[in-house]
Amino acid sequence: MDKSPPETINTEARRASHGAVTLADVATLARVAPITVSRALNSPDSVSETLRSRIRTAVDQLGYVPNRMAGALASAKTKVIPVIVPSLSNVVFIEVIEGVQETLTAHGYQLLLGTTDYNLEREAELVSALLGWAPPGVMIAGLRHLPRTNTILKNAGLPVVEMMEYGARCIDMNVGLSHVRAGMEMAEHLLSRGYRKIGFVGTRLRDDYRARQRYDGMHRRLLESKIASDMLFDYPGGGSQQLGWNALGDILKSNPELDALFFASDEMAVGAILRAQREGIAIPGRIAIAGFNGLPVSTLVTPSLTTIISPRKLMGHTAAEMLLARIAGGSPAARRVNVGLELAAREST
C-alpha cells in the first residue's frame, strides 16, 4: 500500500487539510447528499435499505473514518472524558483508572489521561487545557484543589466527580473513602493489640495529603487513648518497596523504642517485611508492621500483612457510572458515595 495520503483529492484545496477521506467523498461516490451518509452512519434506521448498502460500500471502499472533531464541534457532543490523577506510579490510581476505563468503554466513551505529579498548579493548568476539549464531564482525584480550579470546574457547568477520598464538600459529585477514619481504625487496632509507641511512615506527605489524613486520624485516636504516642516519618522519593526497606533499617536504629510502624502503603510495608526477613528481625515480635490498600501481596508475605482494604476498582466503576448518569441527563443514585474500608488484622501485628 502507498503510505502517502491520497493527495489527488485535495490538490486544489487552499487550506491545510488532513488529506483524509471525508463524508463528502463518500457521498459523491455513493451518489447521495452528505447528510444522508451522516444518517446512514449515526441512525441507520432512518435511511432506506438501498441507500444504506450503497453508502456502506462506499465507506468500505474509501476506508472512511469519520472526523470526530468535526462531529463533536457540530453536535456539541463528545465522548472523551478527562481523568486526572496525581501519578501512575501508585497502583491505587491505576486500579481506579481501570475501573473507570471499563465502565466508560462499555458505554462508548474514551479516556483522556492527565497526571499532575501531586502539583496543584499543574492540576489547574491541566483542567483548563482539558476543558478545551469540551468534554461532557470530568473525573478528578481528590477533594483539594486550588480555588482557581474549583471556580473553573464550577463555572464549566459540567458533571464532575471527585474520587479517592470522601468528604463533606465537593464540587459536584464525590466517591471515595475517609482517610481520617482509616487512620483511626488502624490506631484502634494497634492499641487493642498492645502497641504503644507507633511510627507513621510516608513519603511526600506535604503533597500526599490523603496519607497525612490517615496519620491525623491515627494521631487523634492515640492522643485520645492517653496510653500511646506516635512519631511521623516523611521520606523523600516515591512510595516504593525500596523505601519501606530503607525506612525499616533507619527507624530501628534511630528510634528503637517504637513497637509498631504504620506505613502509608502496602508497597512500603511489604518492603519493610522483606528487609526484616533478610535480616532476621522478628515481626511482630521486635516491631509490628501495618499497611494500607489491601493489595493481593499483603496476604502472601510472611508474616501476612495487617492492612486496610479499599475497594479501588469499585470506586472507579461507581465514579464512572455516576458521571454517565448525569451526562445522560438523569441524576445518579447519590451525589456522594462513601465506598468504605475494611481493616484486615493479620500476622504482622
Binding region for DNA (CB under 7 A): 13-18, 20, 22-24, 32-36, 38-39, 41-42, 45-48, 50-52, 64, 66-67, 70-71, 73-77
Q: Which region, judged by CB under 8 A, interacts with its own copies, from 31-39, 95-103, 178-186, 228-236?
A: 95-103
Secondary structure of residue 315 in the 3-state scheme = helix
List the beta bridge partners of residue 320: none
Q: For residues 218 and 230, is the Cβ–Cβ distance under 8 A?
A: yes
Stated as kind and residue range, the H or E segment containing 99 is helix 91-106
- With CB under 8 A as the contact rule, the residue among 43, 63, 257, 282 that binds its own copies is 63
Does residue 157 bind its own copies (CB under 8 A)? yes
Biggest CA–CA distance in the chain, Å, is: 85
> How crowded is residue 148: how many other Cβ atoms within 10 Å of its Cβ?
15
What's the closest the beta carbon of residue 349 comes to DNA, in angstroms?
56
Does residue 132 bind its own copies (CB under 8 A)? yes
List the beta bridge partners of residue 93: none
Nearer residue to DNA within complex by CB, 50 or 169: 50
Q: Which does 274 bind (CB under 5 to 8 A by kind): DNA, its own copies, none?
A: its own copies
The set of long-range contacts for 63-70, using a CB threshold of 8 Å and a minimum separation of 24, is 63/21, 64/21, 64/22, 64/23, 64/25, 64/26, 65/20, 65/21, 66/23, 66/41, 67/18, 67/20, 67/22
Rounded distance between C-alpha atoms, residue 233 and residue 252, angstroms: 12
- Per-residue binding string, its own copies, 217-236, x by CB under 8 A, is --------------------
Strand pairing category for 336-338 and 342-344: unpaired
- With CB under 8 A as the contact rule, the residue among 46, 48, 57, 151 that binds its own copies is 151
Q: Which does 46 bind (CB under 5 to 8 A by kind): DNA, its own copies, none?
A: DNA
Q: Which does 13 bind (CB under 5 to 8 A by kind): its own copies, DNA, none?
A: DNA
- With CB under 8 A as the contact rule, the residue among 9, 51, 98, 197 that binds its own copies is 98
Residue with cell string 518497596: 241
Binding residues for its own copies (CB under 8 A) = 1-5, 15-20, 63, 65-70, 72-73, 75-78, 80, 88-89, 94, 97-98, 101, 105, 110-115, 128-134, 151-152, 154-157, 240-242, 245, 270-271, 274-275, 277-278, 296-297, 300-302
